[in-house]
Amino acid sequence: MDYIANLYSMSDDKLSLEITNLNKKLSRVNSISPIYGQILEMIDNAEAVRRERIMSSRFSAADRIDSIIEIGSVESVVYTPVYSQEEFLSVVAKTYLNNKGKQ
């Protein structure tokens, strides 16, 4: 199991303890050492997992449903006129002739 998957499997208390332990290790390591950068990255990963958990708990599905504002309903009526074939052809012809004269 890789380190990030291990972080996701930890409980919140273990995750906080892991971050604390990593910070202690970081304080004991020389900043020039390559291990220093690795520990920093491990701390960043652990804190990212903790932030993700905090954000997901804040925006759980139940909270989102409760926060939706009901603004009412909208009713609409669709009116479709019934034209005879003669009326339709007459309107199309007049529109065509009027547009042709404008050009």
**More confidently predicted of 9 and 69:** 9
Residue 24 lies in a domain: yes
What mean pLDDT comes out for the span 61-86? 74
Neighbours of 39 (CB within 10 A): 18
Residue 94 lies in a domain: no
Residue 91 lies in a domain: no
Q: What is the residue-averaged pLDDT of the chain? A: 85
Q: What is the DSSP letter of 67?
A: T
pLDDT in tens, 27-49: 999 989 999 999 999 999 999 99
What range does the domain containing 18 cover?
Answer: 3-66
Residue 58 lies in a domain: yes
Neighbours of 22 (CB within 10 A): 19
Residue 71 lies in a domain: no
Q: Is the dihedral of CA 24, 8, 14, 48 positive or negative?
A: positive
Residue 60 lies in a domain: yes
- Checking if the pLDDT of 61 tops 70, the result is no
Residue 52 lies in a domain: yes
CA distance 14 to 55: 18
Domain count, the chain: 1
**More confidently predicted of 36 and 97:** 36
pLDDT for res 57: 80
